[in-house]
Amino acid sequence: MRIVSVPSEQGNLDKNKGCSKAPPLIIGDLECETAEIIAGDFEGTDKSIYKKARAVLSEGRALFVGGDHSISYPLVKAFSETAGGKRALVVFDAHPDCVQFFKPLSHEDWVQGVVEENFVEPKNVLLIGVRKTHELEREYLKKRGITVLSATEVKSAPKQALEKLLKLVALNNSIYVSVDIDAFDPNIAPGTGYLESNGLDETKFFVLFDALLKSKKVKAVDLVEVNPSKDKEGKTVELAQKILERAIQNWALD
């Protein structure tokens, strides 16, 4: 298992400046590698991230720490080319990230890019924690048959949410997990660019996250949108560190 810092915020559309500073704070003293970021060159940066991820994932599992959510597009592309068998994508996020589709992909439309480029079949995409969607996104999700578990559903019916997740896990061989920190409630994760009320709490999140990790099918995890400049009392960075540590601990048991 390898940790890769991906300090890019070129896809945040100038709406979450500062998230590129998160990786060293989250990773701390852990051994890591870094994907090269090419300032002012969005497409070049995507290619660089993809190249690094493909090399790493060809050899085993990896944890990627960003950065804004646009980094997930080249990361999932690399996953799709290196993972064996049927592939699934599980995204913890307050938003569906399917606003539009044109390249280079931003943090607002990377999920749509992943689906349209056939990196993962839409039926194998599960979005968890969603609570704010644009009309265009609702239409797209319905059209493509992408499954959404809202934050309300997770909190009000946790057992059913877990069952839905485990069903997806059972039907696939390799899983990519993307964690946007705004999936959490702003009270526990204030350090991000898009604060949406009534988000997930740690307990509900870790039940689902642990179930994914314990399946032994997760090949890659990314953690994105943490912004230290907006982080009150370091709460968000601390939460991100817990997520990173939990993944490391579970994979160490294999």
Question: What CATH class has 2-252?
Answer: alpha beta
Identify whether the C-beta of residue 27 lies closer than 8 Å to the C-beta of residue 3. yes
> What is the domain partition of the chain in residue ranges?
2-252
Q: How confident is the model over 198-224, as pLDDT tens digits?
A: 999 999 999 999 999 999 999 999 999
Identify whether the C-beta of residue 111 lies closer than 8 Å to the C-beta of residue 132. no
Residue 198 region, left (φ>0) first, then alpha (ψ -120 to 50), else beta? Answer: left
Q: Give the relative orientation of helices 158-170 and 202-214 as an angle to the nearest 10 degrees.
A: 20
Residue 25 amino acid letter: L
Q: Which residues of the chain have pLDDT under 70?
A: 11, 13-14, 16, 101-108, 253-254
| Cis bond before residue 104 (omega within 30° of 0) | yes
Q: How confident is the model over 115-163, as pLDDT tens digits?
A: 999 999 999 999 999 998 888 889 999 999 999 999 999 999 999 999 9
Helix H or strand E segment including 172: none
Q: Which of 8, 7, 20 is nearest to 105 (CA)?
A: 8
